Structure 1
Amino acid sequence: MIEEWKRIEQKKIASVYLIIGVEDYIINETKKRLLENVLSEDELEFNYANFDLDETPIQLALEEVETLPFFGDKRLVLASNPSFLTTEKNKSKVEHQPEKLEAYLNNPVDYSVLCIVAHVEKLDERKKLTKLLKKTATVIEAKRPNEKEFIAWIQNKIKENQFEMQQEAILHLFELTSGNLTTAMNELDKLMLYKFEEKKVVLQDVENIVVRSLEQNIFLLLDKLIAQDIAGALRIYYDLLKQKEEPIKIMALVGSQFRLLNQLKILEKEGYSSQQAAGMLKVHPFRAKLAAKQARSFTQEELNFALLRVSEIDLELKTGFGNREQKLEWFLFELEDYRKKQKGLI
């Protein structure tokens, strides 16, 4: 658990919080803890406000912060999407007065709690206001966890609920959810409900209950292709079609995966590890680790062929040429034939 959550639960509440990151589970759990520990149920109606700074200027949110609590001791104000603190262009027509926030941070009131939520990887560190905010606020990082951190999160929740979970089951959950903590926690809730009486989750439970993401199914499809199991790859594809996934979307993800394999193969030749490559390509280290393993099963020529065919099929799909459901089928057969020719098998 994040150390700051414990402090919130102990009623050691700061005047200003800053949540930075894209992991929704951490963001939502922090909001939940603030709501539960700053205000009582009776105080919520009069002393809680939630602003989207894409629609509301920061100065109006601060007016709410500086308003005395009504029938209570504290006021809680959440302010999300502070684009004026990032490198992103502000697409809204809202005119912010950042100097108002600077003045407030230098002299915050003691009867309100301001929580700024930045759903981005990082803020613009060059801005004077960003530096001041990070210096004066209690910062909570909602970053995507690595494999070790992910395991710790799952183990903590399992322990809190007085459950047991096999290590291999946790690792399989990590694999099936591609290391997405928010998705994993939702799936873990389902698993604990399913095994409520036994209080123990095993590998087979994860296999039976956890829903694979579309990206995970594409990864497994390529695994089947690598193993020369075309029938297995097609079964996954047909299952996706039954789930109403669009052929153009499936093909786009297949293309995205092959581009990643190609990039990883090139970087590996240049001496980069999968961890280093993940940082350069801005993908999750776990995804890069597994994709690097897949990349080693293809030659550069095979990857070039796959990328060329993917781009041609993408154009065909967008122009309505041919039967769109059959495009991936033909691609799998063509790539398999090309690989066999490369190996002199046909």
Structure 2
Amino acid sequence: MPRSTIRHAFTALPIALMLVLSGSACSGGSTGDDDTVRFGYIADYNGASLLAIAEKQGLWKEAGLTPQVKPFNNGPVQIQALAAGDLDYGYIGPGAMWLPATGKSKLIAIDTLTYADRVIAKPGMKSMKDLTGKRIGVPEGTSGDMILNIALEKAGMTAKDVEKVNMDPSTIVSAFSSGRIDGAGFFYPAIDTIKKKVPDLEEIASTKDTGDAFPTAFVAGNKVPEGKNLKVIKVLQQANDWRHKHPEETIALTAKMLDVTEAQARADASHVRTLSTKDLVAKTRNGEVDAWLKKLGDFFVRNEQMDDNPDPGEYYDGDLYEKAHGE
């Protein structure tokens, strides 16, 4: 896909979206260093668990902050909201990491390593070659888009070999379930919803099979003051360590926040690897986090989502993450 097409898909979103957000609880003018934290998230274990913990454990109040949280369908839409001043912070998966890398936001904390992304297809389709010329639904710019492009590349194919259709996640669920698309670049837990209607769907490709690290992350708007970022990072680190030590309790809290069963939250968490804050700080210092981001950046350049691959230090505030842990 040409760069211009990908960037248009990103820049065309805000017109209708911002009209909605301007009247929402997340609105509130330009970002400042007040105590309110307007936080976007995706309604899954990765995106919601730390927010659920922070609320239950009173971490926001302890930090002198007041959270306003709002769910979104994907990472790119949150970054649009950050740019418009309707959010201070958001959560993104690995497929949206090209957005902070191109200056659309600042990456302030790694969340988890996720392996929830798949290329799925109709029953009987066993390989990417079987999807040649077929309609593939994908939320562009997300990890679903990422795994589709990884799978195409591995199979010696390009996006021109399939009919790639940009869809939001809820539309993919209905379109695949009804047979209007032949496959999808998608992710759990939404795939579990599809499986209720198409239990024998095929999983053709998975991030689990690549052997690579796929970090999820929290991002901040470019105008959010460093002092506020420091406070928020501390809250996220405290919640992260609680999650790492209390996996079952975290599943229960996340399930309650998302209004799903604990079994559903547990299945979602099974695709996730959590790391302690101490481990994340060590991996930041030794360059491992940068290596994860650099490898993703190389992929985004090959996929023409970025012109070049910047040093991760230009968009990941690892020094601030380390500072938050040391205080």
Higher RCO (C-alpha 8 Å, min separation 6) = 2
Q: TM-score range by the shorter chain?
A: under 0.3
State the TM-score, normalized to the length of structure 1: 0.27
Q: Say which structure is richer in strand.
A: 2
* Larger Rg, first or second structure (1 or 2): 1
